[in-house]
Amino acid sequence: MSANPPSTPPPTRTGQPETEKAPAGPTINIGEEYGTAKKNLPPAKVVAIAVAGVLVVVLIASFLKRAKPQGSGSLDNVVAVEVPGQNTTMVALTFTLHNGSDKALYVRELQSGRQAPTGETKVDAVSAVDFDRYFQAFPDLKNGAQPALSPETRLEVGDTIQRTIIVGYPMTLSEFNQRQAVSVIIWPYNYTVPIILSRQ
């Protein structure tokens, strides 16, 4: 007789297999997509109100910080003399300039502008070293004239000066006198807006 009992074969399964039980606990419904704008963004009305608010703030800031002239003043005297036979009119423009800003004003460029129904004409000022030559050739230009204002002139905060520039317009005196206005245009350094002093 053998010591080991005979091995019996495992029992065979009959019928349908057993189904696995669902795990207990919370389940996730993956039917909805959570990566869409509908789930991630606030309502459109709230977004529109926020954008409108930002635009209002930007517009107010732009208005308050818009470019402004660095100085002010007045165009006090205009003397014009025609150059015979050259279709040119020499004009002496005497003005008062005040630096009302919070820093020194440095003159970069000087011009004059003439407004007429046909449009605007701009010309550059002649060099200050040529003043005496123009005064000798056209003594009337000296009427009411002040010292020349030159590029690189520095005007301290609060300073007020009276100066003159001379310009040459490519037109007869009769044409120049048909103007609507004439102006001195002063371009300071580091500013995008010139100082314009005008009169008829």
**Three-state DSSP state, 177:** coil
Tokens matching residue 23? 């795990």
Place of tokens 């004409």: 121
One-letter amino acid identity for 106?
Y
pLDDT average, residue stretch 144-167: 93
Q: Is the pLDDT of residue 68 over 70?
A: no
**Three-state DSSP state, 199:** strand
Predicted local confidence at residue 191, as pLDDT = 75
Say how far apart CA 82 and CA 177 lie, in whole Å. 11
pLDDT in tens, 7-49: 555 555 555 555 556 555 556 555 555 555 555 556 667 667 7
Predicted local confidence at residue 66, as pLDDT = 47
Q: Is the pLDDT of residue 104 over 60?
A: yes
Say how far apart CA 73 and CA 188 lie, in whole Å. 14
Q: Is the pLDDT of residue 184 over 50?
A: yes
Percent of the chain whose pLDDT exceeds 90: 55
Query: In whole numbers, what is the pLDDT of the chain averaged over residues?
Result: 81
Q: Which fold has domain 72-199?
A: Immunoglobulin-like (2.60.40)
Torsion sign, CA atoms 102, 108, 113, 119? negative
One-letter amino acid identity for 84?
P
Report which secondary-structure segment, H or E, holds 165.
Answer: strand 160-169
pTM of this prediction? 0.65
